[in-house]
A = this chain, B = another copy of it.
Amino acid sequence: MTNRKEVAELAGVSEATVSRVLNGIGPMKESTRERVLEAAKRLNYELNAVASSFARGRSGNLGVVLPYVPKVHLFSTYYFSELLSGIGEAVRSKGYGLLLLFRDPTATYDYVSLYRTQRVDACIILGASAIEAELEGINRLAEEELPFCVMDQKFDNPLVSIVAADHEQGSYDAVKHLLDKGLRTIGFLNGSPQYSNSWDRMSGYRRALQEAGIQPDESIMYEGNYSRTSGIQAAKDVHRDLHKMEAIFVSNDRMAIGLMQGLRELGCRLPEELKVVAYDDSDAASLTEPPLTTVKVPFYEMGRLAAERLLDRLTDKGNTESVINERLKTELKVRKSSGN
């Protein structure tokens, strides 16, 4: 592999000059610039990224931590591909690399080590939950003031950077939509409590009901784990309680899809017998029968925002506010499942 020295020789300049030209640093005579570029092209030379990283003391990579693979199915793949696309866009436009890090299920992930080993300069944590090990890992990151950002999950620690969607409001909107149609008894199938945004959804649900002067009825609140299977399982209970509710709010599309599937198998006609509002607006939302009324979440934007902020911080451009705390708006997409 040809290196800087050879280019320098061919161009008849010093190695330092080659570096300057290729990095576009400092003033230089146009003629030497051209000579160097010419030589580089002739020799098929390009900067060695590893050597640069080493010299600079930075990897030039943004890490994206993904939950343990099998669990990916708990989230929609839609969620990840949108987030990743957004992150990818930011990363590319800023000339960084995107390192994918799959959480090791066995070892409690030591986030700090990613930085110590210098594999990443910053990282975004997807699918974080509120379990102890996770909390610890993330608090450590905050303590050491490392550049990182958690996606869509709240933490008490004010030093933890977060980009999230406003699920409290999103859920409020969803339930309000049903209330506005004159429906009064509205059930709720929520996802796993280890995610803070499940709690947010619950708050939004309650707020909407209370504002309408309706006392929330615990007997029509159910819990799944965001998987389709858990939606199918919930169908039995929901079917049993069908006389108690006219509609149900479900915390994500996948569960809603499972629920509808299960209900239909139990002979329930949708949306006639039960109106459904779901959450995410994934690709599948418009495929179901009836198509899902659902809350659209700007995953792509969230990914891009988190990455941009993080990378800007590295470049010291936006060094002003070091902790990121963004809450993006959701949007209700009305389709047939809510009875339109």
> In the bound complex, what is the Cα–Cα distance between A88 and B68 (angstroms)?
10
Q: Which residues from chain B contact A257 at a C-beta distance below 8 Å?
A: 287
Category for how many chain A residues contact B = 35 or more
Asked if A320 CB lies within 8 Å of chain B CBs, one says no
Q: Which residues from chain B contact A283 at a C-beta distance below 8 Å?
A: 77, 284
Inter-chain contact B119/A97, CB cutoff 8 Å: yes
**Given contact pairs A100-B88, A283-B284, A289-B289, A117 touches B48 in the complex (Cβ within 8 A):** yes
Inter-chain contact A118/B77, CB cutoff 8 Å: no
Mark out the residues of chain A between 100 and 158 whose CB falls within 8 Å of any chain B CB in the assembled complex. Answer: 100-102, 104, 113, 116-119
> In the bound complex, what is the Cα–Cα distance between A99 and B97 (angstroms)?
7
Inter-chain contact A99/B99, CB cutoff 8 Å: yes
Inter-chain contact B104/A92, CB cutoff 8 Å: yes
Q: Which residues from chain B contact A261 at a C-beta distance below 8 Å?
A: 287
> In the bound complex, what is the Cα–Cα distance between A100 and B88 (angstroms)?
8
Inter-chain contact B113/A46, CB cutoff 8 Å: yes
> In the bound complex, what is the Cα–Cα distance between A261 and B50 (angstroms)?
50
26 contacts between A and B (CB under 8 A): A45-B116, A47-B117, A48-B117, A48-B118, A49-B117, A49-B119, A50-B50, A50-B54, A50-B58, A53-B53, A53-B54, A54-B54, A69-B85, A69-B89, A72-B85, A77-B80, A84-B100, A88-B102, A92-B102, A97-B101, A98-B102, A99-B99, A100-B100, A283-B284, A284-B287, A288-B289
